[in-house]
Amino acid sequence: MRFDVISLFPELFSAVRDHGVTGRAHRQGLWSLRVWNPRDFTHDVHRTVDDRPYGGGPGMVMMAQPLEEAVHAAQADRADAPVWLMSPTGRRFDQRMAQELSEGRGAILVCGRYEGVDQRFIRRCVTHEVSMGDFVLSGGEIPALAIMDSAVRLLPGALNDRESAHQDSFHETLTGLLDSPHYTRPEVYQGESVPPELLSGHHANIALWRRRQSLALTLARRPDLIEAARAAGRLSKADEAFLASLKH
Ligand code: 9D3
């Protein structure tokens, strides 16, 4: 898999190339990364990449030409790659999109800065626009890092056996429930004990405790996921009885 990133801040991408699960996968040759700076595709002495918006208003707009030339450079030997623009007005990125991305050959990720990018670049070059959600960032770099992280960790061989034991499409798409709480040593920390169910060694009781913790947490924090699980036929009679017991 290969990612090409278009960004005014190329140094940020060492985060995903050099560290953690994605760094290890990169060293294993499971994916590669090339970063292109639009400033290197300017033709004026000031290396201008932005200008004032037509029609007025606050902030600056990224010019089409340096972005388009950077995309063309990235496309030189992979013209078929989808071009994703990181945009606050894009479709919200989710686990299904991560999964589909990980099954392909990669993408060209374009990171905007300032107030936005010239619409003619979007029309001419961009195939998808994606957002991380309803909060304001200063640019598309952190979304691009998140997208690469989410896709690379799904590549076969990216996770070791222990890391991948828990990974499956049910747990990792939003048809699942929220995870139950985790505990590790020591058994008593600052006077607070691990829940006795987890110390019992009784596997059926442990599974029941975790299931109930998941159901209660999901009902409290993400009732939409309870509804989705119910609609998908993923709640048993026992689950429904437990959920009903929480309401009084
Ligand atoms: C506060 C400025 N906004 C005025 C209505 C527009 C705006 C322009 C540019 C807001 C953010 C940005 C920079 N953000 C991104 O490039 C971005 C982003 C985000 O801010 N939130 C969630 N996902 C993304 S993807 C790219």
User: According to the model, what pLDDT value does residue 230 have?
Assistant: 98
Site to substitute for ligand 1 among 115, 122, 148, most atoms within 8 A of C-beta: 115
Q: Which atom, in ligand 1's list, is nearest to the CA of 135?
A: 21
Query: Ligand 1 centre from 88 Cα, in Å?
Result: 4
Mean predicted confidence (pLDDT) in 151-166: 91
Distance between CA 241 and CA 153 in Å, rounded? 36
Taking CA atoms, 35 is separated from 75, 93, 118, in Å, by 12, 21, 21
Angle at CA 43, nearest 5°, toward 66 and 4?
A: 30
CATH 1.10.1270.20 fits 167-246, yes or no: yes
User: According to the model, what pLDDT value does residue 170 have?
Assistant: 53
pLDDT of residue 169 exceeding 70, the answer is: no
Mean predicted confidence (pLDDT) in 127-140: 98
Catalytically annotated residue among 168, 179, 224, 240: 168
| Angle in degrees, 0-180, between the axes of helices 141-152 and 95-102, rounded to the nearest 10 | 60
Query: Ligand 1 centre from 3 Cα, in Å?
Result: 22
Residues of the chain with CATH 3.40.1280.10: 2-152
Matching CATH number, 2-152, of 3.40.1280.10, 3.40.50.150, 3.30.465.10, 3.30.70.1350: 3.40.1280.10
Catalytically annotated residue among 53, 82, 88, 195: 88
Lowest model confidence (mean pLDDT) among 17-26, 58-67, 167-176, 207-216: 167-176
Site to substitute for ligand 1 among 9, 136, 138, 145, most atoms within 8 A of C-beta: 136
Mean predicted confidence (pLDDT) in 115-128: 98
Query: Ligand 1 centre from 137 Cα, in Å?
Result: 5
pLDDT of residue 36 exceeding 70, the answer is: yes
Residues of the chain with CATH 1.10.1270.20: 167-246
Tell me if residue 210 is catalytic. Answer: no
Task: Provide the β-strand partners of residue 109.
Answer: 5, 84
Tell me if residue 186 is catalytic. Answer: no
Tell me if residue 187 is catalytic. Answer: no
Tell me if residue 40 is catalytic. Answer: no
pLDDT of residue 119 exceeding 60, the answer is: yes
